Structure 1
Amino acid sequence: MSRSILALLLIPLAATALPAQAAQDKAKPKKLYCWNDPKSGRTCSDALPPDQVNSARDEFSAKSGMRVGEVDQAMSADERAEAAAAAAQARADKAAEDTRRRTEQAMLLSYPNEEQLKRVFDERTSIVDNSVDTARYNVASLRDGLVSKLQQAGSAELASKPVNAKLADEIRQRHLELMRQQALLQSFEQQRRELSSEVQDTLQRYRELKSGSTPTG
């Protein structure tokens, strides 16, 4: 089929489409757009300028004058990133809450009574207490040894004798080990405090869940 014949066949179709499109455009309700322009202030028009497409605006019916819609200002790249981060945080919070609920349900199923739950915590508490006691012993032992070495060094200096390199190195090494053990002791003691708080909170929550899951009457 030649292009001229094809063009003749398409003319009636185009003629039919144009009135249909015109009728469709005519059927759309006319709107008024109002926005805050930085230069001219509050501005309204029946046509939205291209430079205001991303601006916040109110939309009104041109026929009734009634407000029919509102469009927020388009977000900047930073605002979109912030919104995405907030949405991700919300999803993470929901996932954490779901995990907490599953954990609580598993706790109810795993420990039919409070005594069995306490035994689990007693085992953990015993392990942490042993770590605390060991660290305290090491700190005390190292401190006593360091004091003894310092006394030796002090006696040598009082006698106007130089502190030999071996003794000075022992003092330095014992001091470093003492600081390391003190840091370990502080860490273990912090774990013990946190565990004590966790035990109280968990037992309290367990009692609440048990109370809520026990039929009344």
Structure 2
Amino acid sequence: MLLVPLAAAALTAAAQDPPKAKKLYCWNDPDSGRTCSDALPPDRVNSARDEFSVNSGARVGAVDAAMTAEQRADAAAAAIQARADQAAADTRKRTEQAMLLSYASEDDLKRVFTERSTLVDNSVDTARYNVASMRAALITKLQQAGDAELSGRQVDAKLAQDIGQRHAELVRQQRLLNSFEQQRAQLSSEVQDTLQRYRTLKGAAQPPG
């Protein structure tokens, strides 16, 4: 007995639902130019298009073209980079607040950098000494080889091997020296930037006079 009223109610509700407004779809076709149709072809489902009301002709919406796999990968990479940039900004803000709390004065902050600078300077000095020593030793071995050749004697195999090893070690020490010198230059720049930032933060944190 309940089926009849329920069926009648369903028919009444369906009759009250307004019909969906018809749309006109317009897209750019590479061959035929601007194309419009009241039915969207299956091969244009993923294409960019504008949608208009058939009754009023008013533009009622737009759909962007579906992204390619490469575009999706680029978008994902951009989202990851944006999150990383935001995390870096948050970290910097927390670091700046910690810096204000940790160092009561500029001299306290300078002392920290002085310790780091001393360590890097020691590394630079040691590398310079090693380069000079290895260069002098290599020159001595090369002179021995040169004397042998000028005397018409064949350069000893052990001497030639020693020259090769010392040359390789000299190159390695030179690379270390260059690395330490770059660290020193970067540290000097970091010191100036940090001190300038500290002064700015300290000034902003001071109550107005």
With the length of structure 1 as denominator, give the TM-score of the two structures: 0.87
Instruction: Say whether 1:20 aligns with 2:13.
Output: yes
Which shifted more, 92-101 or 44-53?
Answer: 44-53
| Cα distance in 2 between the residues matched to 1:39 and 1:149 | 77
Letter in 2 for 1:104: E
Structure 1 residue runs without a partner (length 5+): 1-7
Which shifted more, 40-49 or 84-93?
Answer: 40-49
Change (3 A) 1:36 1:92: same
Which shifted more, 29-38 or 92-101?
Answer: 29-38
1:103-133 deviation per Cα after TM superposition (whole angstroms, max 9, x unaligned): 1111111111111011000000000000000
Secondary structure of residue in 1 paired with 2:161: helix
Secondary structure of residue in 1 paired with 2:17: helix
* Pairwise CA distance, 1:77: 1.9
Deviant stretches of 4+, over 6 Å: none
Number of the residue aligned with 1:200: 192
Letter in 2 for 1:116: D
Instruction: Say whether 1:186 aligns with 2:169.
Output: no
Percent of aligned pairs sharing the same letter: 72
Change (3 A) 1:149 1:68: same
Change (3 A) 1:76 1:12: farther
| Cα distance in 1 between the residues matched to 2:105 and 2:47 | 61
Structure 2 residue runs without a partner (length 5+): none
Number of the residue aligned with 1:118: 110
Number of the residue aligned with 1:51: 43
Change (3 A) 1:41 1:13: farther
Number of the residue aligned with 1:3: none
* Pairwise CA distance, 1:38: 3.2
* Pairwise CA distance, 1:154: 1.3
Pairing of 1:116-155 with structure 2 (within 5 A)? 116-155=108-147
Instruction: Say whether 1:85 aligns with 2:84.
Output: no
| Cα distance in 1 between the residues matched to 2:119 and 2:204 | 33
Change (3 A) 1:65 1:143: same
Secondary structure of residue in 1 paired with 2:60: strand
* Pairwise CA distance, 1:91: 0.9
Letter in 1 for 2:111: R
Secondary structure of residue in 2 paired with 1:181: helix
With the length of structure 2 as denominator, give the TM-score of the two structures: 0.90
Which shifted more, 112-121 or 39-48?
Answer: 39-48
* Pairwise CA distance, 1:136: 0.4
| Cα distance in 1 between the residues matched to 2:15 and 2:42 | 23
Instruction: Say whether 1:71 aligns with 2:57.
Output: no
| Cα distance in 1 between the residues matched to 2:15 and 2:31 | 36
